[in-house]
């Protein structure tokens, strides 16, 4: 035959294809190597010491220099895209993201997602799907676990709507769940000259705001290289031919790229907050495009001792990233929304050594 | 002395410098490492499972996750450029390319080329040189072997023309020569959820066409980073100062970059065709430039059982890549030439598991 | 409290913050891996054989393929930026840079700087600080050592000026200090077909000039990826929002990126000069911007036997890089300054095998 076989290509799930309780095993497992860590460094300029230096990591208690938390997150997230969000209209949010196991070069990550909620929109054109995604290493251990919800098109607006199930999500990850991916840290061995800052857990107080000062301009080649590194196939990031005819006329930068840029910028002010232990929630407030310059500031929402641990404490942070707007005035929410420059509002827990 | 010494720089061979039967040992050997595989992933977003995950590769029978076939090809090709095609007017074609040995991180590739044909053009300004190039690993084993022919300038149009020798090249690589670089595959262990598709050898039939749907826009930084990764020094890819004054006014994207982009796009429709076993021929129909968006479609030319193997079968594929033109209508040859959007027409054998 | 805490962010040293004799330990140590070498290859297209191939390196006497000298230099340099040159008006020069120990994948580099000179400018707005920086590996061995001097703003123009101390710097590194980072080379095993040139030490004579012919155009994504790879945080390279309002209206390419581009271009003419043993001095004559095409030529300033070594000799080279100007006419100094196209004038010692 000489017919086209569109059925061989992945169409992705439409809203009516999601089944409550369904567990999806995603393609393609990915081995993370030192070369991926090198590329991640080169894309964001991250300088947190344990991820940068084998020696520093081992001295404070890691068995090896760990893979950056967000690199592991992006790789797991990327795997879920073809099954969960290929037909997404919008990525609405994340919650309850917990980093449970450190990832090291040589580990192979795979991913699964469970459908935990479904709610059709009143216009019946689309609905919201909630999935709990897990990243697993080659031993089947869960390295991270998070919920996200996306608005997905219906293939057929006449399709029957499922009974609405909206999962109850925690406003924040509980303190008792933090730190599983972080080995006991030898505080006395944590060399503050090498880590880049004398500021430890005790130096941060709830409410304080930190302007991270620096700005980073994004190029098309950079965000596409990053997003392919994560094997994230969402076409809005890559295809200028179709995006040029779309709403923005341009390729959209992957939201995770913005998170990693903001995280790297926070080094200036939070140099010792070396590990992201959990993401409580995140909003991509407005789109970022190549040519934009990203700035960031953070607010310490709360500080928390970790039960049973005196080596590290938790800083609950809101990091707000802007485009083309330095953050000395801390651009933030305004009314129902945000000041126009804001692109990201991320609420997360970072761990930082306690003073020895 | 304070004179210039132009003789210290490589001038490359002109047509009259090629001697029939001459074997050229090329500089520079190159060790391929996991970091090169990471970069290759990030440049193309390739997702074929054995190349992506150590676990998947070992489970199905590889001793380790292999280097992508086209990365090995590009590195070997790059070595031949300073000796074979520095003065080329055009790269006219490839044929009889066979992948003979898998390449793994840590392997060092070097290359040789034998001059197997020469034919002066009737205008006496240039001629066509045919070379058989071999890529060798650090044990001297041939990992790949191919013929290419290039049109090369004469240094001196008065130079005597050699007797024309035009090698007889196979229209396609014979089925019996396929699969030497592919270990026996444990079909039962080939997990189709992880590989990304349920479609195996038996699901493809001669004549069928597959639109790979997705598009990828190319940036200057990307194709230059790729081409330097391959140590390919052809100046048309790198030097805007001279190319800006040339025929196109712009840098040309290396043809191999287009092949790798097209190959990565074919994942959507050919996810289990994990190994390129041979390239029967290839034509770079028109040039690609930064800013262009590449799309691709493939036709199954024939399917073939491999003698003595029941683990994998061969799909002979034509993958046609276009620029700035989605492929739902399968843009193809037209009259003597091609539809304007077509940039690549590649005829090759890929291996895919047979149903267990 | 909900106050801003600017004090948590690094302000960098102003002129009056430098203390003579002060030794600064810099953040952040960085493990160099094979992935960094892959990226370095992809950014510059370097082809020197020992750095390219494990086999070639081991055959001639290295225990493993070494990290490119300039990659090690840039990483050490990058660490010094937050402490030394964050408030620099200009990077005035380097001198007495000696490569003392080869760096291999897996080595972790850290850096220290000693303040060895201070001289306030007559306008009292700024001053020149001289530092001797050392790069150390994980065993505390010094891998490279160099002096640089920068013009730094004063925070407070009323601050008292220190007594001027201007260190005496050698015009060139002495021949007896060359070669410590280069193991004994087995000249008979140095395969000139694989290295890319038959030209050895004896083929170069003082005074001769070599046009390296090729040109390389620089993209924003490339120089930013490189500069972040080195964890160099100087904001002029990254922040279009602020630089767009600055003197040039654009991001400046890191001077070290220009050095590495020029070094890669010198392969064509100096293919066997595989190791930079010392940098005598360097001037970034004018700024480079994305879109510019870099060309280079070199002059052999002198040739020198190395005491006690008959395996390699030293070539003292001046490599001059230009922008948007091929170097067949060897653009050079003119009057007090330079021809307009010149961007770099680098004086260094490279080692090259002696004829066996």
Confidence of residue A89 (pLDDT cuts 50, 70, 90): confident
Rounded average pLDDT over A82-100: 92
pLDDT of residue C87: 84
Q: Is the pLDDT of residue C173 over 80?
A: yes
C330/B4 Cβ within 8 A: yes
Q: Is the pLDDT of residue B6 over 60?
A: no
A186-237 confidence digits (pLDDT tens) = 999 999 999 999 999 999 999 999 999 999 999 999 999 999 999 999 989 9
Rounded average pLDDT over A242-254: 95
Instruction: Name the one residue in this structure whose structure tokens are 């090169």.
Output: B36
Q: Is the pLDDT of residue C7 over 60?
A: yes
Whole-angstrom Cα Rg for chain A:
20
Alpha carbons B206 and A30: distance in angstroms, whole number: 32
Q: Name the minimum distance, in Å, from the CA of A144 to any CA of chain B.
A: 18
DSSP helix/strand/coil, B162:
coil
Alpha carbons C37 and C50: distance in angstroms, whole number: 12
Q: Is the pLDDT of residue C277 over 80?
A: yes
Q: Is the pLDDT of residue A13 over 50?
A: yes
Q: Is the pLDDT of residue A5 over 60?
A: no
Q: Is the pLDDT of residue B278 over 60?
A: yes
Instruction: Give which of B45, B257, B317 to mutate to test A binding, by max A Cβ within 10 Å.
Output: B45
Name the nearest CA neighbour of B100 among B64, B128, B140, B131: B140
pLDDT of residue B88: 87
Residue with the larger pLDDT of the pair A22 and B162: A22
Alpha carbons B15 and B153: distance in angstroms, whole number: 6
Rounded average pLDDT over A46-67: 98
Instruction: Give the number of residues written for chain C.
Output: 356
DSSP helix/strand/coil, C200:
coil
Confidence of residue B4 (pLDDT cuts 50, 70, 90): very low
C220/B239 Cβ within 8 A: no
Rounded average pLDDT over A29-40: 97
ipTM over 0.90: yes
Helix pair angle (C255-265, C69-80), 10° resolution: 180
Q: Which residues does chain A have within 8 Å of residue B35's beta carbon, measured at their own beta carbons?
A: 33-35, 38
Confidence of residue C288 (pLDDT cuts 50, 70, 90): very high
Q: How far is CA C179 from each of CA B326, C50, C183, C350, rounded to the nearest angstrom?
A: 57, 15, 8, 9
A217/C221 Cβ within 8 A: no
pLDDT of residue C326: 98
The count of CB pairs under 8 A between chains A and C is 154
Q: Which residues does chain A have within 8 Å of residue C235's beta carbon, measured at their own beta carbons?
A: 214-215
pLDDT of residue B230: 98
Confidence of residue A250 (pLDDT cuts 50, 70, 90): very high
Rounded average pLDDT over A241-260: 96
- For C155, counting Cβ atoms within 10 Å of its Cβ (0-12 exposed, 13-18 middle, 19+ buried), the class is middle
A238/B214 Cβ within 8 A: yes
Which chains neighbour C (Cβ–Cβ under 8 Å, 3 or more pairs)? A, B
DSSP string covering C102-162, please?
---TT-EEEEEEEEEEEEE-TTSSEEEEEEEEEEE-TTS-EEEEEEEEEEEE-S-TTSPPP
Q: Which residues does chain C have within 8 Å of residue B229's beta carbon, measured at their own beta carbons?
A: 38, 41-42
Name the nearest CA neighbour of C200 among C303, C297, C98: C303
C36/B33 Cβ within 8 A: no
pLDDT of residue A3: 44
- CB of C225 less than 8 A from some CB of A: yes
Pick from A83-92, A288-297, B69-78, C239-248: least confident = A83-92
Q: Give the one of A29, A219, A235 whose C-beta lies nearest to B214's C-beta.
A: A235
The secondary structure of residue B314, as a DSSP letter, is E
Confidence of residue B318 (pLDDT cuts 50, 70, 90): very high
Instruction: Name the one residue in this structure whose structure tokens are 């801003």.
Output: C4
Confidence of residue A19 (pLDDT cuts 50, 70, 90): very high
The mean of the pLDDT values for chain B is 95
Total-model pTM: 0.97
Q: Is the pLDDT of residue C114 over 70?
A: yes
Instruction: Give the number of residues written for chain B.
Output: 356
- CB of C108 less than 8 A from some CB of A: yes
C106/A270 Cβ within 8 A: no
B74-95 confidence digits (pLDDT tens) = 999 999 999 999 888 888 889 9
Confidence of residue B162 (pLDDT cuts 50, 70, 90): confident
Start-to-end C-alpha separation, chain A: 74
Which chains neighbour A (Cβ–Cβ under 8 Å, 3 or more pairs)? B, C
Rounded average pLDDT over B6-12: 80
C36/A33 Cβ within 8 A: no
Q: Is the pLDDT of residue A310 over 70?
A: yes
Q: How many C-alpha atoms does C273 have within 13 Å on its Cβ side?
A: 27
Residue with the larger pLDDT of the pair C160 and C191: C191
Residues in contact with C189: Cβ distance below 8 Å, sequence separation at least 6, in sequence order: C59, C60, C61
> Cα dihedral angle (A119, A120, A123, A125), rounded to 10 degrees?
130
**Residue B323 in tokens:** 């620029």
A110/B53 Cβ within 8 A: yes
Phi, psi of B258 (to 5 degrees): -65, -40
Alpha carbons B315 and B147: distance in angstroms, whole number: 21
Q: How far is CA A221 from each of CA A44, A226, A232, C221, rounded to the nearest angstrom?
A: 13, 9, 15, 6
pLDDT of residue B144: 98
Alpha carbons B249 and B316: distance in angstroms, whole number: 37
Q: Give the one of B4, B110, B226 whose C-beta lies nearest to C211's C-beta.
A: B4
Name the nearest CA neighbour of C298 among C274, C327, C276: C327
Alpha carbons B260 and B70: distance in angstroms, whole number: 7
Instruction: Give which of C2, C27, C141 to mutate to test A binding, by max A Cβ within 10 Å.
Output: C27
Instruction: Outline where DSSP puts E strands in chain A.
Output: 23-25, 30-31, 88-99, 108-120, 126-136, 142-153, 209-211, 216-217, 275-284, 293-306, 309-323, 333-334, 337-338, 342-353
Q: Is the pLDDT of residue C118 over 90?
A: yes
Pick from A83-87, A164-168, A278-282, B196-200: least confident = A83-87
Name the nearest CA neighbour of A195 among A313, A302, A67, A353: A353
Q: Answer for the pair A88, A151: CB distance below 8 angstroms, yes or no.
A: yes
Q: Is the pLDDT of residue C2 over 70?
A: no
Q: Name the A residues in 291-320 with CB < 8 Å from any C CB.
A: 291, 293, 295
CB atoms within 10 A of CB A207: 12
> Which residue of chain B is at minimal alpha-carbon distance from A233?
B45
Alpha carbons C209 and C317: distance in angstroms, whole number: 10
Q: Name the A residues in 184-203 with CB < 8 Å from any C CB.
A: 193-197, 199, 203
Residue with the larger pLDDT of the pair A269 and B162: A269
- CB of B225 less than 8 A from some CB of C: yes
A8/B203 Cβ within 8 A: yes
B2/C214 Cβ within 8 A: no
* Beta-bridge partner residues of C348: C279, C317
Rounded average pLDDT over B193-217: 97
> Which residue of chain C is at minimal alpha-carbon distance from A205?
C1
DSSP-H helix ranges across chain A: 34-44, 49-52, 54-60, 69-84, 192-195, 220-229, 240-243, 255-265, 267-270
The mean of the pLDDT values for chain C is 95
Confidence of residue C3 (pLDDT cuts 50, 70, 90): very low
Q: How many C-alpha atoms does A134 have within 13 Å on its Cβ side?
A: 15
Name the nearest CA neighbour of C269 among B6, B43, A174: B6
A140-188 confidence digits (pLDDT tens) = 999 999 999 999 999 999 998 889 999 999 999 999 999 999 999 999 9
A54/C138 Cβ within 8 A: yes
pLDDT of residue B3: 44
Q: Name the C residues in 13-72 with CB < 8 Å from any B CB.
A: 33-39, 41-45, 47-49, 52-56, 65
- CB of B290 less than 8 A from some CB of C: no
pLDDT of residue C89: 87
CB atoms within 10 A of CB A196: 22
Rounded average pLDDT over C5-29: 89
């Amino acid at each position: 035959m000489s017919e086209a076989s569109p059925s061989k290509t992945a169409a992705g799930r439409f809203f009516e294809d999601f089944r409550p309780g369904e567990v999806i095993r995603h393609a393609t497992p990915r081995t993370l190597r030192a070369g991926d860590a090198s590329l991640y460094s080169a894309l964001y300029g991250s300088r947190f010491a344990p991820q940068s230096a084998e020696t520093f990591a081992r001295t404070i208690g890691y068995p090896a220099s760990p893979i950056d938390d967000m690199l592991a997150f992006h790789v797991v997230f990327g795997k879920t895209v073809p099954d969960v969000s290929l037909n997404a209209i919008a990525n609405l949010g994340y919650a309850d993201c917990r980093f449970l196991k450190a990832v090291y070069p040589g580990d192979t990550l795979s991913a699964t997602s469970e459908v935990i909620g479904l709610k059709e929109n009143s216009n019946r054109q689309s609905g919201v799907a909630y999935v709990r995604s897990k990243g697993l290493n080659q031993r089947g251990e869960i390295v991270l676990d998070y919920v996200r919800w996306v608005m997905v098109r219906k293939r057929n607006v006449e399709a029957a709507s499922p009974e609405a199930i909206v999962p109850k999500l925690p406003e924040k990850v509980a303190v008792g769940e933090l730190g599983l991916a972080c080995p006991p840290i030898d505080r006395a061995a944590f060399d503050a000259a090498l880590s880049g800052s004398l500021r430890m857990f005790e130096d941060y107080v709830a409410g304080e705001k930190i302007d991270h000062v620096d700005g980073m301009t994004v190029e098309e080649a950079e965000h596409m290289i990053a997003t392919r590194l994560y094997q994230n196939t969402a076409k809005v990031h890559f295809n200028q031919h179709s995006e040029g005819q779309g709403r923005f006329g341009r390729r959209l930068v992957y939201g995770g790229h913005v998170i990693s840029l903001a995280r790297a910028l926070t080094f200036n002010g939070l140099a010792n907050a070396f590990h992201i232990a959990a993401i409580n929630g995140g909003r991509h407030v407005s789109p970022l495009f190549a040519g934009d310059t990203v700035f960031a500031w953070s607010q310490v929402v709360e500080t928390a001792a970790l039960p049973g641990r005196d080596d590290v404490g938790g800083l609950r942070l809101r990091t707000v990233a802007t485009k083309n707007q330095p953050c000395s005035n801390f651009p933030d929410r305004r009314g129902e929304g945000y000041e126009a420059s804001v692109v990201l509002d991320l609420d997360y827990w970072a761990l930082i050594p306690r003073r020895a």
